[in-house]
Amino acid sequence: MKRRPGRLWLFFWGRKRRGYPGLLTAVVVLTLVGALTIRSQRGYDAGFLLGIALLAVLAAVTAIALVAALIGVLRPRGRR
């Protein structure tokens, strides 16, 4: 009988992923852009505006997600 791996093992070495790691790439690129922004002459102003833009995008995505969830709850299910 074969033993199953433990939870800790599965957390770090779970099933193999396929495809390009887009989220990791986005985090690295955004980190580099943020570092370059801070190093520039007007870094504080640009960082402040980028922060406001990020908050606006997050608020819009949150509102869209809430509306989609509300529609999903209120919409009657079709017959199968």
- What are the mean pLDDT values of the chain's consecutive 10-residue runs (80 residues total)? 71 70 88 82 81 92 94 79
pLDDT at 22: 85
pLDDT at 70: 92
Angstrom distances, CA of residue 62 to CA of 23, 43, 57, 67: 19, 28, 9, 9
pLDDT at 37: 78
Asked if residues 37 and 50 have their Cβ atoms less than 8 Å apart, the reply is yes
Whole-model pTM? 0.51
